[in-house]
Amino acid sequence: MKLEDIDGGTKLYVIIGDPVSAVRTPGVFNEMFVRQDTNAVLVPLHVAAAHLESVWAGLKAIRNLHGVVITMPHKSRMCGLVDSLGQNGKVVGAINAARRTSDDTWEGDMFDGLGCVNGLQKQGHSVAGKSVFLMGTGGAGAAIASAMAQAGVRRLVITDVNAERLGQVMANVRREYPRLSIAAGQIGQEEFDLAINATPLGMRPEDPLPFDPSGLPESTLVVDVITKPEITPLLSRAQETGHRIQSGRHMHRGQAVACAEFFGFDLGW
């Protein structure tokens, strides 16, 4: 597949967001289409929040549009605009992908958390049966909580400075996974197999650590969702104290792989 091969038979995919200037999804997907010689293309659409409904009404009616990747600030509102939701989309109340189904409706789901789980599994860390501490219940945190529950963790302890948001995410997870052991709590109160930062702390050099990994058992895997820098101060400190780590890069790749699979493609690692 090459740019000059785009024709009337090309399957169209888009990413909608505002801004789109830094999106990397087109490159990731189009490299796959080139490599696998698939007659498809993914293009970025710069869509302001004020126009989301009208743009979506138009996009739905484009018959060769097969899938939509959704980024900031549209993830929550798109949840209410698609016809059906996958499990993680239901729990999180936000989606980052939607696909046209065989009966011409649109199904959305959230793959950010699944990306974290897939990234861990790809590195040889199974998640089922494990105890997990999660800090932060914003978009990424809520998605991780949902995906961890779906992946069959034994226990999930969550914290957030925003108590209302924390309570909402816990209630949403409990609603879909009533038998999961889930609690609000801090990291020092019990031992965990995984300790995950899903807050933005670590993006700026002056940020405090989200939590101190030095007191954790050596077996605890320390995970960060931040992609820039790849090795955050949290991960750097965890390495110093002898812990295995996983960076946001793996989650990011896992998210793209899961999203491609949802569209019917094998992105590969």
Q: Which residues are catalytic?
A: 75
Task: Give the distance, in angstroms, between the CA of residue 5 and the centroid of all CA atoms in the same chain.
Answer: 32
Q: Is 4 in the site for its own copies (CB under 8 A)?
A: yes
Q: How many residues bind its own copies (CB under 8 A)?
A: 43
Least Å from the CB of residue 99 to its own copies: 17
Per the CB < 8 A criterion, the answer to whether 255 and 112 are in contact is yes
Least Å from the CB of residue 67 to its own copies: 14
Can you list the pairs that 203-211 forms with residues at least 24 positions away whose Cβ atoms lie under 8 Å?
A: 203/228, 203/229, 203/232, 205/233, 207/233, 209/233, 209/234, 209/237, 210/135, 210/136, 210/234, 211/135, 211/187
Least Å from the CB of residue 101 to its own copies: 17
Q: Is 72 in the site for its own copies (CB under 8 A)?
A: no
Per-residue contact track with its own copies, 10 to 49, x per CB under 8 A? x-x------xxxxxx-xx--xx-xx------xxxxxxxx-
Per-residue contact track with its own copies, 74 to 93, x per CB under 8 A? --------------------
Least Å from the CB of residue 144 to its own copies: 26
Reduced to 3 states (helix: H, G, I; strand: E, B; else coil), residue 70 is strand
DSSP element (H, E) containing 107? strand 106-109
For its own copies, the binding residue among 36, 54, 84, 219 (CB under 8 A) is: 54
List phi, psi (to 5°) of 223. -120, 135
DSSP element (H, E) containing 163? helix 163-176
For its own copies, the binding residue among 36, 37, 65, 175 (CB under 8 A) is: 65
Query: Which parts of this chain interact with its own copies (CB under 8 A)?
Result: 1-10, 12, 19-24, 26-27, 30-31, 33-34, 41-48, 51, 54-59, 61-65
